Amino acid sequence: MSAPLAVLVDGEESRSIPVTDRGFLYGDALFEVMRTYDGAPGFFGPHMARMTAGGEGLAFGEACPVEAFAVDVRRLADTDRDVLLRLYWTRGDGGGIAGETERTRRVSMAYAIQRPPPEAYRDGVDCLVVGGRATDASGAKVATYVENILATRRARAAGAHEALMADAEGRIGEGATSNVFAVLDEVLTTPSLGTILPGVTRQVVLEQARAEGLEVAEAPLSVEDLGRATEIFLTSSVREVLPVRSVDGDRVRQPGPITRRLAERYEAAARADAARWLPD
């Protein structure tokens, strides 16, 4: 990722935080990533709801500063070009594993959007199954991302776009930086909540699939399931709906009709949500 276009620390222009910040020391922080559409963020409300729930679950001791983040986003959003927004909320400064802090800290950053090239959406991307995934039922998007980083590095070293993280039983939970969907016997299937991060894009895609009249299942996905899937795609705020053309070298017919329809519906929903967010 390139250098940020702009950074706000507690609402002030800055590119530094104290080395005593617990986000730096321990990964004791939450973050959200979203993109803008014509100068407004897509699904800001659901992203902030997830951060709020994460702060409660991690006992931050303060309410999530949603309105302050909204002010930051209005300052960072660019009406001339869309940007990627990364919003961090840390527990603040304090020593020791269980150290108490006087106040939390928020960091808001804007980046140029770096999406996969057009041919990735036309032809699909390659994925690699990476084992050793630990179950995470917290539902919080925490800043401790080492497992995801290592999985992504393994995938990229193998020439793949994304790592699909599997547990010891061979069940796929999610991608290193995405949620995973597969079409099995004409049923759109994605791993259920409780062992995966509740992706905002994932939830919108499920809603759009049901509105489209598709049969949907939230159920375990095995490596064998991916081998017989007729369509597979990834979801994330920046990549939106991205088709997969192969898993561990096994080809998938991509992009299929369900993937294409849901990609169109998701983008329309994101743009509509962003338009509603814009201030009068």
CB 243 within 8 A of CB 115: no
What does the DSSP 8-state code read for residue 244? Answer: E
Phi first, then psi, for residue 58 (nearest 5°) are -95, 5
Residue type, 232: I
User: Is 139 in the same domain as 230?
Assistant: yes
How far, in Å, CA of 232 to CA of 226, rounded? Answer: 8
Phi first, then psi, for residue 278 (nearest 5°) are -55, 135
Exposure pattern of 13-50 as b/e (b: 16+ CB <10 Å)?
eeeebeeebbbebbebbbbbbbbbbebbbbbbebbbbb
pLDDT at position 168 is 83
Q: What's the CA angle centered on 186, arms 185 and 192, to 5 degrees?
A: 85
What is the span of the domain harbouring residue 56?
6-112
Measured on CA atoms in the order 160, 163, 167, 172, is the torsion positive or negative? negative
Number of domains present in the structure of the chain: 2
User: Is 223 in the same domain as 163?
Assistant: yes
Mean pLDDT of each 10-residue bin along the chain, 280 residues long: 90 93 92 95 96 93 95 90 95 82 93 94 95 63 87 95 91 93 96 87 97 95 93 96 94 88 97 83
CB 86 within 8 A of CB 101: no
User: Is 83 in the same domain as 160?
Assistant: no
User: Is 71 in the same domain as 141?
Assistant: no
pLDDT at position 255 is 87
Question: What's the pTM value of the predicted model, to 2 decimals?
Answer: 0.93
How far, in Å, CA of 156 to CA of 167, rounded? Answer: 20
User: Is 76 in the same domain as 159?
Assistant: no
User: Is 127 in the same domain as 264?
Assistant: yes
User: Is 268 in the same domain as 134?
Assistant: yes
Measured on CA atoms in the order 258, 241, 278, 49, is the torsion positive or negative? positive
- If you write DSSP's letter for every residue of 167-223 in order, what string do you get? -TT-EEEEETTBEEEEEETTEEEEPPTTSS---HHHHHHHHHHHHTT--EEE--EEH
Domain boundary pick from 59, 81, 112: 112
